[in-house]
Structures are given as C-alpha cells and as structure tokens.
Amino acid sequence: MRTPTPNSPHIRGRWRQLGSAAAATAALLVAGFGTAAHASAATATTATTATHKVSTKAIAAQVAKAHVQYEKAGCGATPKKGYAACNALRVTGGTTAFMEKQAALKGIAPKTVKPNAASDSPTGYGPSDIQSAYGLTDAAASNGSGETVAIVDAYDDPNAEADLATYRSYYGLSDCTTDNGCFKKVSQTGSTTSLPSADSGWAGEESLDLDMVSATCPNCNILLVEAKSASDANLGTAVNEAVKLGAKFVSNSYGGSESSSDTSYDTSYYKHAGVAITASAGDEGYGAEYPAASRYVTAVGGTALKTSSNSRGWTESVWKTSSTEGTGSGCSAYDAKPTWQTDTSCSKRMIADVSAVADPATGVSVYDSYGSDGTGWNTYGGTSASSPLIASVYALAGTPGSSDYPAEYPYAAAGTSALNDVTSGNNGTCSTSYYCTAKSGYDGPTGWGTPEGTDAFTG
C-alpha cells in the first residue's frame, strides 16, 4: 500500500517523416485544443475570437489539413551495444493541428514550423491539455507538494533551469528553481558542480522531460540527474543516484536493444522497492527494448491524442507513423515475467504496461534554447514524452508503499474507469496479434490504457 498525497554512445543521426493529425470535431471549442498561456495571451485570443466568428465545422476542416515533418533528436540515433538512445522526436516543419485551429479562430492563414527557426509561442499541447486529457486537472492543482520526480538523462543541459523557468512562466506555473528548493541538477555521482559535458541533442530531451513533469505535476519538485555518457552502466548509475537522493518517482526516456546482460542490470540499477520507475517503450515501432523490458519498471507506450466530441473530450489510438516509426512493444527475450502480468502468449516480460501521448503530430510544447537543437519553442513527440508524464501521474497519486513495485499498480485497476482503454491502431506486424495491435483490454502497444485520474497509480 502507499501513502496518499495530502489533499486528495552518443551517435548522431536524423530522419524526417510526415505525420498527420486527424480532424477535430465540435468539441474543439469546449474541450480545448489550445494550451493555457499567461493572461495577456489569453485575453488577446478572446478578443480576436469575439470579432471573428467561425463554425466548429470550419475549424475541424482546417485542423484536418495539419501535417508535420519531424526528426530524431540529436540523441536518438541507433546506439552501439551497451549504450542507449533517447526516445524524442522534434517537429521541424509543417503545421500542427494546434496551429491550424488557432489560425481558424483568428481567420488568418496558418503559420508553419520551420527547421531550426525559433518560435515565440508554443505549437503543441500544454499543461491544460495534458491535465484535461487524462483527468488530472483537480489532482494537478492540489497534489504533488513534497514529492520529487527525478529525470535521468545523459550529458549536461547548461540551460536546463533557465528553460524550465521560461516554460513555467509562460503557462502561469509556480517558480521551480534551485534557490527555492524545487529544482536540483546533479551528476550521476550527486555533484552539483562537476557535471558532464554539454550536448545539444540530450539537452532537448532534458527540456522535454522537465516540461512534462511541470505540465503534469506542477507542484512536484524536480531532480535532474545527468549521466556522464549514454552507456547503460552510467545511466543506471544515475538511476541509483536519483533514488539515493530521495526521489520516489524516476523517469527514463531512453532505451536500446535487449541483451543477456539485462537481468543483471535489473538488479543493479532498476530494482528499487518503494520507487515508481518509468521507461519509454521506444519509437521504432513493434519490438522490445531495454530498460522498458525490466520487470521492475513501468513500461510506457505511446498514443496519438486528439480532441473528440465524446464525453471525455479526447480520443486516443496507437501511435504509428510507419512500420518502423511508432510506439514500441513486444515480448522480452530475457526478462522474466512479473507475477502481476497475466497475458498468456508471452512467457516473459511483456511491453507495455500503460501509455500516454507520443505522436509528434499531436505532440507537446517544449522550450529549449541550448545548441543547434535549441530553437526556443518546439513541439516534441516520442515515448520520451509519455514516460515523464506517467512518472508524474504516479507522483500525483502519492508516495508508493515501501515494499511495493509500483509497476503493479495499473494491473489492479485493469478494466476500470481509472484507465482509458485504447482499442484502435497498431505499431507494426507480429505473429501474436495483441503484441502489436490494440484491442479491448490489455495489448502491447498501449498496455492497459492511459490515465483517467490517479486511481490506477496507487496501491
């Protein structure tokens, strides 16, 4: 059981692909596709909307035109053996659904995202969208104080704290700084001064992670632990340091090929009772990767998140752009099956457990200003977005029981209203249907579904 929160390596490579966002319905005006900005921006939007009347049908038609190009972040190239890549995808061109909707409301031609061109405002989902989509609005306002979510990544982002401040200021979130004790950045040894070398690609990943924690659990403290390289050993050491420093929630937005060493990595780095550890399922479509395959972590898959006219106001499907681009899933070749997993075709650990937004076409807003990948406001996707989001949902739900492995928690809520069952889409082809294809109940790409509040993430 757990105590509830009060009040409720390194190789560069890139590729580009087209993604698309589906047409939104009349719920756009009610459910809110746009992000919540500061008061002046909100006032300007309201004034503009008042003078330009547009039907929901027209907005939906405009949103249907949305399409983007994206690339792997500079930390996302296929890693060599013993190393991991980040699971982040950065939109570099085209027009997002958010931008199409804003243009329709204002009666103007939509703008476009341009590669390596700074944007002066967000072009993807923000805190209000994420909280609305996953039933977290009340919890985000009331819960999380005193909890620490740790982000584990490789290399240093020199602008991490400053970029975090820009993101939080824009969305009206409270300050999270070193001075007020909310934010802390350390190396894998715990040093605040002797940090790894800086890296632009991983800096974008770190900004994505920090912003997702802020969007989901704005009252949480944030600990950023930077490994000195993207080796499995150094990243694992950073996980241990995060736990040593008191974090009860640790997100890992990276992964690599499975190996026979994984079971030893499990016990050396990821086996921490009483700590909710999340790991991205991967961005290359069907197939298992590590550490998502560890039985001690919550493996997080990815969805395409779109507004809808249903009672929830949102709908989700498996994220897939092509046969080699989409959320990861699969049956582990090495890791033993945890006792709480009961699917019958996979005799070992099955990926994923749960899921959240990851499609770049329905991606999230991130502020990053460091290096060649640091262009101001960006839209990011990939399961690097869904892992810190889910870690933050655990934090909203409260501190895990000291002897618990919280990956088990969603299984106790399987089939209930605490999870949004994702039943459409696939991430490739496979011999056993549920390994790669969504269905009612459990499936590999989305696990038991996405959060609807915090009840599925508490013991």
**What is the predicted pLDDT for the residue at 69?**
86
pLDDT tens string 8-50: 333 333 333 433 333 333 333 333 333 333 333 333 344 344 4
**pLDDT of res. 116:** 58
Do residues 413 and 419 touch, judged by C-beta distance below 8 A?
A: yes
SS3 164: helix
pLDDT for 35: 38
Q: Give tens-digit pLDDT for 190-235.
A: 999 999 999 999 999 999 999 999 999 999 999 999 999 999 999 9
Which two three-digit tokens encode residue 235?
Answer: 């990243």
pLDDT at 68: 83
Q: Lowest-pLDDT range, 204-208, 369-373, 433-437? A: 369-373
Cα distance between residue 145 and residue 128, in whole Å: 19
pLDDT of residue 56: 59
pLDDT tens for 175-195 read 999 999 999 999 999 999 999
Residue given tokens 């209930």 in the structure block: 416
**Confidence (pLDDT) at 64:** 58
Token pair 């700084």 is at which residue?
Answer: 177
- What's residue 66's pLDDT? 62
What confidence category does residue 457 fall into, taking pLDDT thresholds of 50, 70 and 90?
very high
Poorest-pLDDT segment among 47-56, 86-95, 242-251, 281-290: 47-56
How does pLDDT run across 378-423, given as a tens digit for each residue? 999 999 999 999 999 999 999 999 999 999 999 999 999 999 999 9
Work out the burial of residue 33: count CB atoms within 10 Å of its CB; fewer than 13 is exposed, 13-18 middle, 19 or more buried: buried
- Per cent of the chain over pLDDT 70 is 85
Instruction: Look over the chain and give the mean of its residue pLDDT values, rounded to a whole number.
Output: 87
- pLDDT band at residue 372 under the 50/70/90 scheme: confident
Question: In terms of C-beta density within 10 A (0-12 exposed, 13-18 middle, 19 or more buried), how is residue 39 classed?
Answer: exposed
pTM value? 0.87
Is the pLDDT reported for residue 250 higher than 70? yes
Q: How far apart are CA 220 and CA 413, in angstroms?
A: 24
Of the two residues 434 and 18, the one the predictor is more confident about is 434
How far the first Cα of the chain sits from its last, in Å, is 5
Note whether 230 and 74 are within 8 A (CB): no
Q: Are 182 and 222 in contact (CB under 8 A)?
A: yes
- Quote the CA–CA distance of 115 and 122 in Å, as a whole number: 15
- Report CA-CA distances (Å) from 260 to 62, 70, 172, 293, 333: 50, 33, 47, 12, 9
Buried b (16+ CB within 10 A) or exposed e, 93-121: bbbbbbbbbbbbbbeeebeebeeeeebee
- Of 68-72, 114-118, 411-415, where does mean pLDDT reach its minimum? 114-118
